[in-house]
Chain A
Amino acid sequence: MSDATDKVEVLLVEDTPEDAELTMRTLRKHGLANNLMWVKDGAEALDFLFGTGVYAGRRMASPPRVILLDLHLPKLNGLDVLRRLKADPLTRQIPVVVLTSSTEESDMRVCYELGVNSFVSKPVEFDAFMKVVGKLGFYWLLVNKQPGL
């Protein structure tokens, strides 16, 4: 594995390439996408975080500073990923932001029960979407403090 995967700051878990592109474009515009890793489903996300599967042997010196997690994912959905992350002491402290199209209260409730750090609905309108993603990146990467950094 290259060095790039070792110092990932943002892990984007998103199956829709368009949404991923829009998110990355926005973060890039704010200069926050330098160390961004994009995975397309829940299984790959877990593989990346735990260094298994195709990511076996990855040096996991520093965990991502934030995980942007979609809920509606192929294979393993976002809630399963969240459950695994928050159940494991190794990954529990990584901030997870659920970034989803869902506005369902039930989704919100389950996410918070599982210990999500933030729940954000993706606005349909791109301008609003850009604002939200920009704020998120700004807050989690620049404002928020984490131990060991």
Chain B
Amino acid sequence: MNSLTRLLFGEKNQIGRRLIVLIIAFSTVITLFISVVQLAFEYRGLRKALDRELDGIAIYVPTIAGSVWDFDEKQIQRAIDALILLPDLVEVRVIAADTARAWVSRKVATPNVITRRYALLYENRGRVSEIGALEVVSSLDGIYQQLLNSAVSIVLSNGVKTLLVALFMVVLIRRLITTRLENLANKVHALVPGMLPLRQAVETHPQPMPDTLDELDAVEWTLDQTAADLKVAVAALNQLNQDLESRIVERTKELESFSYSVSHDLRTPLRAIDGFSKMLMEDYKDKLDDEGKRLLCVVRGNTERMGQLIDDILQFSRLGRQQLALAPVDMERLVRTVFAELQPWYANRDVRLSIGALPPTLADASLLRQVLINLLSNAIKFTLPREVATIEVTGTEDGPHNVFCVRDNGVGFDMQYVDKLFGVFERLHSSDEFEGTGIGLAIVRQIVVRHGGKVWAEGKLDNGAAFCFTLPHP
């Protein structure tokens, strides 16, 4: 029984219980009302049938009247003995008017009866006179019995029906609504503490849900709890954000002081290495043989290279925190200027630049200049083996962005390394082949990304390369 109720109502199912009580109560009232009306109609029907039955007795009245006129007592008795056999009749009386003589035939008496009186008329020489009366007493017990039976069957069938419908509805509601409400309440209840940082979760330990709540109350209760929890969570998050913010400020300061140290502390010994090598070279020229001089040159060459690396690291780290000063930039002019400034790098070579119609763009001019310096100097560098180097700069509008590409006919690269191109200090060539620290394209990407654009490269080994980037319209 216990498991059955659990199956029907679930562990608690307060709404289900309440519902079943309400349904049964309401349904009972309705059933009662309908039953009363139904029984009233039935009673009327049964009474009419009884009346018709009694009306039928009228056909015996002339015969009995004759017998009374003739004073044929035997005949009278036979007639009423026959009449008493009719169903529902409990007493039949014949009363003679003049003599007040009465003949009676009766069955067991009952309290609920109706009496019908028939006048016994006799016609003598055109004159009709009342010579007596036939009185028939009919019992209502049969009718009452039938009504009782009807009532019992109505109540029984309606009761069973109501109960079944109520149970069905409860199961249905449990299936469709309350189970889900319970799950919802539980989920919401578990939601916030799970998201809170550990410290906060301990402070706002989840309260157990009171048992007296029904499912909807539970959802409401849970929502209230959740709202309170959320307040705590939001406050915690805000605090966390502030902490983070101050930590970022702190870290940025650390980073700045780190760059400062790098720029100062690493350069100083490097300058000493370079300077003292040079001094050695100058002051002890006579005592050094060619190999000694070569070794010193290697020392100085590497010092220079390390100096370049430090500069690159610093430039790269500065890019991240530099504010963007966005303004419309005349790309064509900028490309020409930068290319002209790079002239010393291709002084004795045949390098041909072609510039397409470049749309104006929105950018930080000094940073964009750096992008073009890096891309164009790369193009100049990697076309060194070509007798005629061609560099092509194109620009097209593409939706909200401009796409710019710098193409060259240089040594290109293997597309399988394309992902490495834009990494910091990633190089696809040895220093013997082409100089460089490997920071140029990383800087290009950093700048373009800070402008909300993207960079990509296409190339083929020994067959040129193209570096493209997007920038917003002005």
Contact = CB atoms under 8 A, between A and B. Distances in A.
Interface residues of A, number: 22
A18 B300 CA distance: 16
B interface secondary structure, majority: helix
Interface stretch (A31-39, A58-66, A97-105): A97-105
A124 B278 contact: no
A127 B314 contact: no
| Chain B CB within 10 Å, residue with most, of A25, A103, A122 | A103
Interface string B268-309: 111110111111000000000000000000001001101100
B271 A104 contact: no
| Chain B CB within 10 Å, residue with most, of A16, A18, A102, A126 | A126
B268 A18 contact: yes
A125 interface: yes
Contacts, number: 67
Interface in A85-112: 100-104, 106-107
B264 A126 contact: no
B267 interface: yes
Nearest to A14: B268
B264 A101 contact: yes
Nearest to B270: A124
A69 B202 CA distance: 58
B259 A122 contact: no
B303 A124 contact: yes
A22 interface: yes
A72 interface: yes
Contact of B272 (A22, A71, A100): A22
A104 B260 CA distance: 7
A129 interface: yes
Nearest to B314: A103
B271 A102 contact: no
Contacts of A22: 271-272, 275-276, 279
Contacts of B275: 18, 21-22, 126, 129
Interface of B: 256, 259-260, 263-265, 267-272, 274-279, 300, 303-304, 306-307, 310-311, 314
Given A18-B276, A101-B268, A104-B259, 9 more contacts: A18-B269, A22-B279, A72-B264, A72-B265, A101-B264, A101-B271, A123-B271, A126-B278, A129-B275
